[in-house]
Amino acid sequence: MYLPTHFEENSTDALYRLIDAHPLGALILNTPSGLDANHVPFEVDRKSAGHERLLAHVARSNPLWQEARDGDAALVIFNAGDAYISPNWYPSKHEFHKQVPTWNYQVVHVHGKIKIRDDEKFVRGVVGRLTRVHEARAGDAKPWKMSDSSADYINEMITKIVGVEIEVTRLVGKRKLSQNKNERDRSTAAQALAQRNNHEMAEAMQRRAAD
C-alpha cells in the first residue's frame, strides 16, 4: 500500500479500535486456485501482547478452509470509512482555483499467518463472542442469544462452519483525512461531509486536525 508519511497511522491501539468499529474484513489468500478474497467479520484477540490474533469462521462449504494450509501468509483489509471530497468544499479553490477532487479513507491492513480451526469448541466460542458484541451494538431491548434457539438447531449450525485464526505479524494503517491541506480547507471539507450525513468521516477529519 502506498503510504505517505503524513497519512500513516502508527498507533497499534488506534488501529485495533478501527477494526473493532469495522470488523468486516476482506481475507485475502494466495490459494492453489489463485488469489481469493472472502469478506468475514472478525474478532480481535489481544489477550497476549505481541501475539494478537484475528478470529472468525467460514461456511464449511467454502473451499477456503481446505485450500489454505496452516502457516500460509494472509492479508486482511478493513475499510474503516471513506468519502469523496469535492474541490468546491475548499475555500482556497474559490480563491486560487488550484484544487482537484480526492478520496479520503481509513484502512487497516493486517498481515499474518492463517490457521484453520476445525474445532467445535473454538467455533462455538467465536460465534458466541461475535453474537454478544454485535447484538449489543444492534441496540434491541432484548438481544438475541444462542440459547433462544434449540440446542439441537445450534449444534447443527455449528457443524456447518469452520474456524479461522490469523496470527498477526504486522499492522499497517492509513488514515487519509486531508492532513496535506491547510486547516481552513480541512475544516470546511469536514463540515460538508457532516451536512451530507457522513458524520464518521467528518469527525475523523476533525479529530485528526486537532492532533
Cβ neighbors of 153 (< 8 A, separation 6 or more) are: none
CA 27 vs CA 1, 39, 87, 131, 136: distances in Å: 16, 6, 34, 20, 25
Mean pLDDT computed over 133-144:
95
Integer Cα distance of 28 and 37 in angstroms: 4
Sign of CA dihedral 133, 138, 140, 145: negative
pLDDT, residue 44, reads 97
Cβ neighbors of 118 (< 8 A, separation 6 or more) are: 65, 162, 163
Integer Cα distance of 31 and 64 in angstroms: 8
The residue with cell 489468500 is 29
- List domains and CATH numbers for the chain: 5-84+103-180 (2.30.110.10)
CB-CB contact of 111 with 168 (8 Å): yes
E strands of the chain, at which residues?
8-9, 24-31, 34-41, 43-45, 53-59, 73-85, 102-117, 161-176
CA angle 43, 82, 40 (to 5 degrees): 25
Letter string b/e over residues 32-43, b meaning 16 or more CB atoms within 10 A of that residue's CB: eeeebebebebb
Cβ neighbors of 155 (< 8 A, separation 6 or more) are: none
* Cell triple for 59: 461456511
Mean pLDDT computed over 80-102:
94
Integer Cα distance of 187 and 179 in angstroms: 11
Is residue 127's pLDDT more than 90?
yes
Mean pLDDT computed over 121-150:
96
Mean pLDDT computed over 167-184:
96
CA angle 128, 133, 136 (to 5 degrees): 120
Mean of pLDDT over the chain: 95
- Stated pTM of the model: 0.94
pLDDT, residue 211, reads 65
Is residue 210's pLDDT more than 70?
no
Is residue 209's pLDDT more than 70?
no
pLDDT, residue 25, reads 98
Residue range 7-63, pLDDT digits in tens: 999 999 999 999 999 999 999 999 998 999 999 999 999 987 678 999 999 999 999
pLDDT, residue 10, reads 94
